[in-house]
Amino acid sequence: MLPHSRIARLDPGFGGHPVASSDLPLEALVHALRSGAIAGADGDALFLRARPGAALRTLQGLRLRCEQSFRPAFDALHRQGYEVELQCDATAQSPLVLALPPRQKEETRALLARMVAHCAPGGRIVASVANDEGARSVEKDLAQLTGLGGSIAKHHCRVFWSPPLDGQHDAQLAAQWAQLDRVRPILDGRFKSRPGVFAWDRVDAASQLLVGALPTTLRGAAADLGAGWGFLSDALLNRCAGISSLDLYEAEARALELARENLAAHAPRVALAFHWHDVVAGLGKRFDVIVSNPPFHALSRGERPDIGRRFIETAAASLNRNGQLWLVANKHLPYEAALDSRFAEVRAVAEGGGFKVIAATGARA
């Protein structure tokens, strides 16, 4: 069971992407806004890291402008009629700035600094965080940055907000925090990354295991599903000289931009394409090789093997005759049934560190 009884399902309003049936931080935020405890919680509002959900549709009187870099959530917000953009203009200001901060501390502090920058004079910023994702810590950070105007506990979450802001926040601290999620060199300068993307400052053990298992004979048109900041794609191109083209599919736009930069050196030799895309929606192209270290968390933190199963289905539907899927996953995740149902041949290639590498061929329609 997911934390706080968040039961997973496929929500057609989320582009078919598996989501949790209950988004508790979002529900707590909406409760606080509707309670009357936050003065000025009507009119225009800028919602950073906005997420779709039934609770959001119950808000009355707020004209939301949303920002979201995760493609399934972006698409769902757009379909539900909200004004949504990948990244709002740096000069945009609003009398009310909302956010659902992530777990990563540097990324969250940078987000708080951005919220202050987007807050119009006399406005407030409001954040909602689950208790088990660091609510108390983020609340203390906001108090340090702007002072605390109030807080509410609801749905195992905390919602907290600033007093009306008119330049009295800690400007020096805001400037420092604004730089915490900047793009920077990692791994002795081999790549660039930034806090908040998956395994931002390291090579995750699963991808490393998959790279070690890849045969050097792979060739033709390839795709990387859930490419992140590009480590697996870079390794595939370095290892397999027969790869003629590579399409990277990644739902998080910030990670995809890093991948574009990290793979630039391969562009003279290989045709590269970068897709800000929800893999479970299908690819619309055919490939000879697909590699993937699929995510098993969505915007909620509970394990989500259903996402990996949808990646497998998409891969099977996108491989040419005799095409190969090379997949790595946590050893305990139940992907074998999905693989056996969609591929004629499935074999375990490697195991280590709690992960497994699987090769599959003979995709079934």
Output the DSSP codes for 109-145: HHHHHHHHHHEEEEEEEEEEEEGGGTHHHHHHHHHHH
User: Worst-scoring range by mean pLDDT, 38-47, 74-83, 107-116, 318-327?
Assistant: 38-47
> 251 pLDDT band (50/70/90 cuts)?
very high
Lowest mean pLDDT among 19-23, 222-226, 245-249, 342-346: 19-23
What residue ranges in 211-296 does DSSP mark as E strands? Answer: 219-225, 242-250, 271-276, 287-292
What's the predicted TM-score (pTM) here? 0.91
User: Are 267 and 351 within one domain?
Assistant: yes
Residues 206 and 174 in one domain: no
- The owner of tokens 């660091």 is 134
Share of the chain above pLDDT 70, in %: 92
Mean pLDDT lowest among 28-42, 85-99, 309-323: 28-42
Same domain, 26 and 140: yes
- Within 8 A by CB and 6+ apart from 202, the residues are 186, 187
- Look at residues 150, 178, 206 and tell me which one is the last residue of a structural domain: 178
Identify whether residues 234 and 105 lie together within a single domain.
no
Each residue's pLDDT tens digit, 191-228: 999 999 999 999 999 999 999 999 999 999 999 999 99
Based on the fold, state whether residues 170 and 48 are members of the same structural domain: yes
For residue 339, give the DSSP letter: H
Q: How far apart are CA 298 and CA 203, in angstroms?
A: 20
Select from 116, 150, 178 the last residue of a domain: 178
pLDDT value at residue 35:
92
**Are 115 and 212 in the same domain?**
no
More confident call, 104 vs 40:
104
* Same domain flag for 168 and 189: no
Q: Check residues 324 and 5 and name the one with the higher pLDDT.
A: 324
For residue 19, count CB atoms less than 10 angstroms from its CB and return exposed for 0-12, middle for 13-18, buried for 19 or more.
buried
78 and 209 part of one domain: no
| Residue 86, pLDDT above cutoff 50 | yes
Asked if residue 100 and residue 37 are part of one domain, the reply reads yes
Q: Which residue among 178, 201, 218 closes a domain?
A: 178
69 close to 50: Cβ distance less than 8 angstroms: no
Are residues 224 and 324 part of one domain?
A: yes
Number of domains, the chain: 2
Range of the domain at 214: 184-363
Is the same domain home to 171 and 293?
A: no
Handedness of CA 357, 304, 288, 223 (dihedral sign): negative
CATH number of domain containing 26? 3.40.50.150
Residues 165 and 226 occupy one common structural domain = no
